[in-house]
Amino acid sequence: MVRNIQKGGLILNKIKRTSLVVFLKRYIVLFSTLFLIGVSFPLGFWNVREIVFVGVKNDTQLVNSTTSFIGESIFLVKSSDLKKEIVKKNPYVKDISLEKIVPWKLEITIEEHIPLYISNSLDRCVIFSDEGYKVEEICKDCNDQCLERASTFSGIYLSSDTVVSNSNSMIFFKEFSDILQILSKFGYEGKSITLLDGIATIMDTDGHIFVFDITYDLDTQLGRMYLVGEKINTDLIEFKSLDLRFERPVMRLK
Question: CATH class for domain 115-253?
Answer: alpha beta
Q: Note the pLDDT of residue 217.
A: 93
β partners of residue 134: 128
In CATH, the architecture of 50-112 is Roll (3.10)
Domain definitions of the chain by residue range: 2-40, 50-112, 115-253
Per-residue pLDDT of the chain (254 residues; tens, 9 = 90+): 544 444 444 444 554 455 555 555 666 666 555 555 555 445 556 788 899 888 776 667 787 888 889 988 888 899 999 999 988 888 888 999 999 998 889 999 989 999 999 999 988 899 999 999 999 999 988 888 898 899 899 999 999 988 898 888 999 999 999 999 999 999 999 999 999 999 999 999 999 999 999 999 999 999 999 999 999 999 999 999 999 999 999 999 98
Q: Note the pLDDT of residue 104.
A: 86
Q: Note the pLDDT of residue 75.
A: 86
Supply the DSSP string of the chain, one letter for each residue: -HHHHHHHHHHHHHHHTSHHHHHHHHHHHHHHHHHHHHHHTTTTTTB--EEEEESS---HHHHHHHGGGTTSBTTT--HHHHHHHHHHH-TTEEEEEEEEETTTEEEEEEEE--EEEEEEETTEEEEEETTSBEEEEEEES-HHHHHHHHHT-SSEEEEESS--EETTEETTHHHHHHHHHHHHHTTPPEEEEEEETTEEEEEETTS-EEEEETTS-HHHHHHHHHHHHHHHHHHT--EEEEE-SSSS-EEEE-
* Total residue length of the chain: 254
Q: Note the pLDDT of residue 225.
A: 96
Overall pTM surpassing 0.85 (yes/no)? no
